[in-house]
């Protein structure tokens, strides 16, 4: 089966193809995952810096978007030269392009992949509905994330909804003692938070929960990595006025991505306070290193943790729920817990697992191709 994955997102920074594949990891990781399942994959990325790259057996074509990438000569030539069996479009918010694809390839199934998209505003819904009627499937990290779109009448009954992680992670477990020596991380437990200091990530509730938990966990230390930080003044004020937090919370700020892997190997618990996530990449990375998650009970976290099969789920905005979850998680820590978390990642979230899941979705949308492949194999 030939899968054509298309991304209509345009990088305003004009990064060259090689850099974009590093910075936009999902673009390459999803394609490589599907290729690992034995499918032929071509990726077309709208880009102000055109070029071509081949990695892991996948051809990445970076094409100038013009007025419409879907109607461009470059994409038209590709469709004629390498006709796909399935079109996989990254993102839900490209109605005009999706309609153009359907006009160009009327018989080819189209799968849209959610990337934390929001239900469109009322004035944009008419075109969105037309595009949704033209596709065959939509994937969300968690099936529950489709419900707002369905309630708004934006998912016709014929569109199949698939529950598939947004991406995967190449992080690996490592020696915790060596990682602690390399990073300077300490604590019993050492709790790591990776995320923006904003209202959605709710760092103030995390701090309240940690402050409440130290009665039972006096050795707890909280380490926070973040990029954007509109709540940083409020976070610092909260830490400064509470003796339970003052010498216990370490604001690391922005750290290189490879250092995040070392910090996760060194920590005991990963925590976040998110109210909404499309598919938390930090949580996936934590699971990849075997780090026990203590995360909010939202659809993507339930899906990624197997409904709490690994780690603990707690209620958004409730510091006492976080307190209890931290105490329970600390009581279960050990080498076996890390092995169990990594085993869960391998089975459900690894590149191989992601590739199998997408391949199964493609075959469900293209039964004729599936029957041809099976007949050929026989």
Give the span between the Cα atoms of 115 and 19, in whole angstroms: 20
| Run means of pLDDT, 10 residues per run, the chain, 378 residues | 94 92 93 96 93 93 81 79 93 92 92 94 91 96 96 94 96 97 98 97 98 98 96 98 96 96 98 94 97 98 97 98 98 92 98 98 78 42
Which tokens hold the place of 10? 């345009």
Of 271, 281, 272, the closest CA to residue 189 belongs to 271
Which tokens hold the place of 309? 């099969």
Chosen CATH of 176-349 out of 3.40.50.10210, 3.40.50.880, 3.40.50.2000, 3.20.20.140: 3.40.50.2000
Which tokens hold the place of 229? 């930080």
Name the phi and psi angles at 208, rounded to 5: -60, -40
CATH 3.40.50.2000 fits 2-166+352-377, yes or no: yes
**Who's near 76: CB < 8 A, 6+ residues apart?**
104
Give the span between the Cα atoms of 89 and 70, in whole angstroms: 11
Indicate the pairing of strand 110-113 with strand 40-46.
Answer: unpaired
Residue 344: its pLDDT value, please? Answer: 98
Indicate the pairing of strand 86-90 with strand 110-113.
Answer: parallel
Give the span between the Cα atoms of 72 and 75, in whole angstroms: 5
Q: Please state, as a whole number, how many other Cβ atoms lie within 10 Å of the Cβ of residue 338.
A: 18
How far, in Å, are 63, 69, 189, 214 from residue 66 at the CA level? 9, 6, 53, 57
Give the span between the Cα atoms of 344 and 352, in whole angstroms: 13
Give the span between the Cα atoms of 166 and 149, in whole angstroms: 18
Contact 2, 42 (CB under 8 A): yes
How far, in Å, are 100, 166, 202, 291 from residue 237 at the CA level? 52, 36, 15, 29
Q: Please state, as a whole number, how many other Cβ atoms lie within 10 Å of the Cβ of residue 100.
A: 19
Contact 223, 253 (CB under 8 A): no
Which tokens hold the place of 209? 């929960």
Contact 132, 93 (CB under 8 A): no
Indicate the pairing of strand 58-63 with strand 51-55.
Answer: antiparallel
- How long is the chain? 378
Residue 287: its pLDDT value, please? Answer: 98
Contact 91, 77 (CB under 8 A): no
Which tokens hold the place of 333? 């820590």
**pTM listed for this prediction:** 0.92
DSSP SS3 for 378:
coil
Residue 67: its pLDDT value, please? Answer: 67
Exposure letters 269-304 (e unless 16+ CB within 10 A, then b): bbbbbbeebbbbbbbbbbbbbbbbbbbbbbbbbbbb
Helical H segments across the chain, by residue range:
17-23, 25-36, 73-81, 95-104, 125-133, 147-151, 176-183, 203-213, 232-240, 243-246, 257-266, 281-288, 299-304, 319-331, 335-348, 351-365, 367-377
Residue 69: its pLDDT value, please? Answer: 80
Tell me if 2-166+352-377 shares its fold with 176-349. Answer: yes
Contact 72, 80 (CB under 8 A): no
Domain map of the chain by residue range? 2-166+352-377, 176-349
**Who's near 175: CB < 8 A, 6+ residues apart?**
265
């Amino acid at each position: 089966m030939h899968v054509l994955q298309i991304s209509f997102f345009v990088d305003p920074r004009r990064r060259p193809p090689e850099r974009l594949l590093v910075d936009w990891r999902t673009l390459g990781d999803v394609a490589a995952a599907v290729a690992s399942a034995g499918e032929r994959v071509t990726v077309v990325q709208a880009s102000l810096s055109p070029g071509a790259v081949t990695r892991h057996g996948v051809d990445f074509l970076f094409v100038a978007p013009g007025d419409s990438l879907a109607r461009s000569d470059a994409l038209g030539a590709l469709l004629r030269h390498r006709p796909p069996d399935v079109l996989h479009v990254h993102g839900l918010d490209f109605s005009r392009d999706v309609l153009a694809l359907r006009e160009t390839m009327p018989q080819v199934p189209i799968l849209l992949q959610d990337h934390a998209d929001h239900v469109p505003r009322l004035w944009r819904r008419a075109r969105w509905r037309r595009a949704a009627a033209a596709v065959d499937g939509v994937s969300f990290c968690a099936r529950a994330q489709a419900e707002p779109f369905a309630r708004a009448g934006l998912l016709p009954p014929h569109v199949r909804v698939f529950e598939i992680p947004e991406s995967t992670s190449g992080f690996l477990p490592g020696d915790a003692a060596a990682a602690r020596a390399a990073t300077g991380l300490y604590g019993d437990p050492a709790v790591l938070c990776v995320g923006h200091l904003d209202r959605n990530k709710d760092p103030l509730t995390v701090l309240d929960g940690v402050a409440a938990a130290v009665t039972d966990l006096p050795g707890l230390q909280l380490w926070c990595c973040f990029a954007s930080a509109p709540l940083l003044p409020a976070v610092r004020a909260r830490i400064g006025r509470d003796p339970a937090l003052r010498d216990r919370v370490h604001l690391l700020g922005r750290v290189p991505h490879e250092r995040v892997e070392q910090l996760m190997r060194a920590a005991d618990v990963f925590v976040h306070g998110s109210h909404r996530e499309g598919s938390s990449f930090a949580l996936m990375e934590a699971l990849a290193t075997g780090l026990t998650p203590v995360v909010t009970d939202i659809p993507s976290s339930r899906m990624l943790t197997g409904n709490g099969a690994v780690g603990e789920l707690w209620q958004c905005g409730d510091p006492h729920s976080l307190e209890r979850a931290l105490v329970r998680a600390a009581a279960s820590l050990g080498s076996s817990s890390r092995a169990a978390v990594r085993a869960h990642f391998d089975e459900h979230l690894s590149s191989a697992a992601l590739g199998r899941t997408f391949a199964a979705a493609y075959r469900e949308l293209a039964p004729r191709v599936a029957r041809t492949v099976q007949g050929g194999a026989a």
